[in-house]
Amino acid sequence: MSDSGGVPEDECLAVWCAGDDWCAVTCAMDIIGKKWHPVIVHRLLQHGALRFNELSEEVGGITNKMLSQSLKDLEEKELVDREVVSEKPVAVEYSLTERGQSLEPVIDSLEEWGKTYLRPTEDQDQSVC
């Protein structure tokens, strides 16, 4: 187990972090570096708890299958909490755990870097990102 009590070291080995038995950057990117994960975390930081369809609308461009898989993965990584808020009809809300909320400065830094160094091309819809 790592010193921070986070991801066990044996669960986070990657060949692309050559020479290290355990690499914090590799582990962090393994958790939040998947295509939709940072966007989902960002929207939950912005809006708080959201139901599946609300989150789908906020993320945009993601299929229901991919959103479901991403949420399941984020839940397994203890970044997102899933709560059934009503049973008839079934309604589920997703929110960030304390661990997920701790990503706020990382997501804010990514957003600021993107605003500073990246510009959409004329044919891109700015609302997509």
d(CA 78, CA 99) in angstroms, rounded, equals 7
pLDDT at 98: 98
d(CA 9, CA 31) in angstroms, rounded, equals 13
Domains, the chain, ranges and CATH? 33-111 (1.10.10.10)
pLDDT at 38: 96
Element (H, E) at 80: strand 80-87
| Cβ-Cβ contacts under 8 Å for 52 (sequence gap 6 or more) | 64, 67, 68, 71, 92, 94
pLDDT beyond 60 at 2: no
- 118 secondary structure, DSSP code: -
* CA count, 13 A, side-chain hemisphere, 1: 4
pLDDT at 10: 54
To the nearest whole percent, how much of the chain has pLDDT over 90? 60
pLDDT beyond 80 at 18: no
Q: What is the pLDDT of residues 24-57, one digit of tens each?
A: 888 888 888 899 999 999 999 999 999 999 999 9
d(CA 17, CA 99) in angstroms, rounded, equals 24
pLDDT at 13: 52
Supply the pTM of this predicted model.
Answer: 0.79
Do 21 and 9 touch, CB atoms closer than 8 A?
A: yes
Q: What is the pLDDT of residues 99-122, one digit of tens each?
A: 999 999 999 999 999 999 998 766
Average pLDDT for residues 70-84, to the nearest whole number? Answer: 96
